[in-house]
Structure formats: C-alpha cells, structure tokens
Amino acid sequence: MDMDLKAIEQMVEQVLREIQSEQIVNVTEQRKEGYGLFSTIDEAIEASEKAQKKLLYTGMADRQKYVDVIRKTVLNKENLELISKLAVEETEIGCYEHKLIKNRLAAEKTPGTEDLISEAVTGDNGLTLIEYCPFGVIGAITPTTNPTETIINNSISMIAGGNTVLFSPHPRAKKVSRLLVKMLNKALIEAGAPSNLIAMVEEPSLENTEKMISNPKVRLLVATGGPSIVKKVLSSGKKAIGAGAGNPPVVVDETADIKKAAKDIVDGCSFDNNVPCIAEKEVFAVDSICDHLIQYMKDNGAYLMTGKQQIEELKALVTTEKGGPKTSFVGKSAVYIMDKFGVKVPDSVRVIIMEVPKDDLFVQEEMMMPILPIVRVSDVDTAIEYAYEAEQGNRHTAIMHSQNVEKLSKMAKVLETTIFVKNAPSFAGIGAGGEGHTTFTIAGPTGEGLTSARSFCRKRKCVLADAFSIR
C-alpha cells in the first residue's frame, strides 16, 4: 500500500467531520465558485443547463483538456487514496485496495474525445457529415456499490461528448460523492472550464431523483443500479440508458487449465468483495474435473462448506425472508461473513464455496458477496444450459474456462451477454488485465453495452448539396 493506512483513516475521519459540520466550504461559497453542490435539485439543473450551453461552444481540444484534468485529479495519490478509503468507510461495502484499482481504472481507461469518430459520405450530390453531438444535461443515477468509480467514468464520458452531468448518488454514498464532485469541479474551474460541468444536490433522495427524472431540461437519463431504478428511467418517456443487474455464471469444462481457472475464479469472485456486477456469481463445472477445481480453489483462498445444514444456516444468515441478499452482508469479506456465522477462518480466505443443485437460491439470486455456489454437471452442454438459466436473460456477463473453441462459441451465442470473458477473471472484461476500455455503466437492458462518450451523444447529419466532393 502506498500510504500508511492509519494516516488515510485519520484523513478520512477529518473529512467526515468537516462534511458533517459543513466546514469543507459553506454553501454560498460553493455556489459562488461553482463547485457543483446545490441545496435544491432545481438550482442544480439550472446551473447544469447554463454550464452545458457554455461547454457547447468550446472546442474539442478544450473538452479533451477537461477530461485530462479529471484523470489527473483522480490519479493524484492523495485524492485516489482518500476517495477509495472514504467510499468503503461510508458505504461499508467493498475493499479499499480494490477500490484503488477500480478508481484508477476508471480514470485511466475511460475513453475521451477520441471515441467520437466522425463519418463522411461524398459523391456527385455533395458532402454529408455525420457526427456525435451532445444531448445537453444528463441525469445520472449512481449506485452505492461503485459510487466514485461511476462518477469518474460517467463524468469523463459525458463531458467528452459535450454534455454536463447531474448526478443523483445513492444516499448511502452521499458524503464521498459530494467530496468527489467538489474535488473535480474545483480542478476543472482552475483549468478554465465552465463552472458546474458536474453537479449534484447536497442531499440525494428519492424525491430529488423523481424531480430530476421529470424535469424537461434533463434530456437524457442514465441509471446504473438495480432493476427497479432502471425500470423507473425507462418508463420516464425520455431517452434512457439502463445499466442493470447481472448474475454472471462461470462454466468450466474438461479441456480447461483447471489450476489457472480456479485461481481466476477466486480472484474475480473476491474482487471488491463481489460487488461488481460483472463478478463471478455461480460456477457450473463438468463432473470429471470438479473435484480438482474445488481443491485448486481451496489452494487459492476458498473455504469449502460441505454440510447441507451448514449451507442452509449460512443462507438464513445472509438473505432476507424474500430470498434477496441482506444489505448488511453485501460487499462484506468472506472472513467477516464467516465470523458472523460463528466460524473463525484465516485472513487468507477470500471466497466461501459449496456444492449445491442448480435451482439453489445461491445460484439463482445475485448475492453481491463472496459466496460462490458450485454446480456439478455431467457435460459442458448441460453446463451451458444451466448457465443460461441462471443468468436469467440479463445478458450482462458470462465467463467460461475452456480450450474448446466450438463450445466457447456456443456459450457466446446461447447467453448473448454484453461481456463474455474466456479463460480469465471476470474483471478482464472491463480492461483490468484485458484489452479494451473500461466502464462502470454496462447497459445490457437498453443495448448500449460498454458505454463510452459516443453512448451519451446523438448522431446529427450535416448535408452540403452539390459541392465539396473533390474526387
């Protein structure tokens, strides 16, 4: 770790005290300086609209400069460590070391203006230019599981596209969200950007989110979260991008490198205590290699539960009466969960595994905690069939460990997921150890997929008739 953990904790405590007592900067000064924090949603929308009109008349070089300022601000060592630590402290979700990785990933691998590729068509009838242009003010709803990562990622993409963004963070992440929005706006203003390119209301709430959704000045809605919030924005009557839940299955067949597959699965499942929507949530393993896979998983930090009664007791501990995950266990470590279960395990334990049937609650329900059910199957075709059922049509993410190209192709076609990771941990799908850009708004329900700057733009066509075709 780059910085002494105790020093970071002291810094976080100080920031929390300042936020609590409103000593960071008073509200009047925030409005004066344009640091993006507003007492009412109407004020925030008005400021965001004014900022977008100013941004519209800046050049692409300026937009890229603003993107670079966001990157530099987040990647500042002190800032990166502070927002990562505060996110865990406030939400009580995830792992500080992994928040560092995710925040850095969002800053480094979210595309900027280079994503906005123009098209040109020329011929005897002249020149037609097709370009990606801004929507205007974007209302973005962010989750408690990835609060800072989503703000960084969305801010870069949306500003690169010429938009301003009004965030509606989860109330349980409001302190770190306020800190980050203020931090980014301050840096942007110092770089010559218009005030309030990024904005939020100081006290996020369902009521404020409803007002944001219904306000006609908010041209595009983006929801990163669970099914209910995605459904809400999709029923708004506006253009909406929905990044919903997933329940990513893993298939392991007899041709896989079992030792590597076991390590990859544990690494992916335990990453940020399993809160990423792309993380491995259940495993379907071919019988002939299942025992070997489990042993190698144990060698890499998995704790195996074997008794049926013990598994049911764990289920009762971490789930609600309706069968969903208890909020108090979401994003907690395997060691924490086992401690609450009454079993002391070494700190090296990262994942809790158990063999269960395919219709088990742990298989069918996305838990967002490092509990990984394993289903033993007779053959790879059955594994793919069961994986399809468990993924439940979310078309979000799937993972497969195999050397059989035919079966890899079959799983890709059957599940039709936005991300399909082969022979690697799930996080390779967002650019951590894999090629390609990153995003924390993975729009499966509305089809945009791995969003980037162009996802938050509309195409416009500019026609010059009977001229400027010079071929």
Catalytically active residues are: 277
Dist. CA 109–CA 153, nearest whole Å? 9
Dist. CA 337–CA 122, nearest whole Å? 63
With contact defined as beta carbons under 8 Å apart, do 118 and 100 qualify?
Answer: no
Classify burial at 423, counting beta carbons within 10 Å of its beta carbon; exposed 0-12, middle 13-18, buried 19 or more. Answer: middle
Q: Estimate the crossing angle of helix 174-190 against helix 147-160, to 10 degrees.
A: 30
Dist. CA 221–CA 214, nearest whole Å? 10
| Helices of type H across 57-173 | 60-75, 77-91, 96-109, 147-160
State the distance between the two ends of the chain, measured CA to CA, in whole angstroms.
Answer: 59
Q: Name the region of 385 (left: φ>0; alpha: ψ -120 to 50; beta: rest).
A: alpha
CB neighbours of 134 closer than 8 A, spacing ≥ 6? 52, 55, 56, 161, 162, 163, 456, 457, 458
Q: Estimate the crossing angle of helix 96-109 against helix 147-160, to 10 degrees.
A: 0
The secondary structure element, H or E, covering residue 221 is strand 218-224
CB neighbours of 13 closer than 8 A, spacing ≥ 6? none
**DSSP letter string, 134-146:** E-SEEEEE--SSS
Q: Token pair of 241, please?
A: 């991008």
Dist. CA 239–CA 304, nearest whole Å? 46
Cα pseudo-dihedral 102, 106, 107, 109, rounded to 10: 120
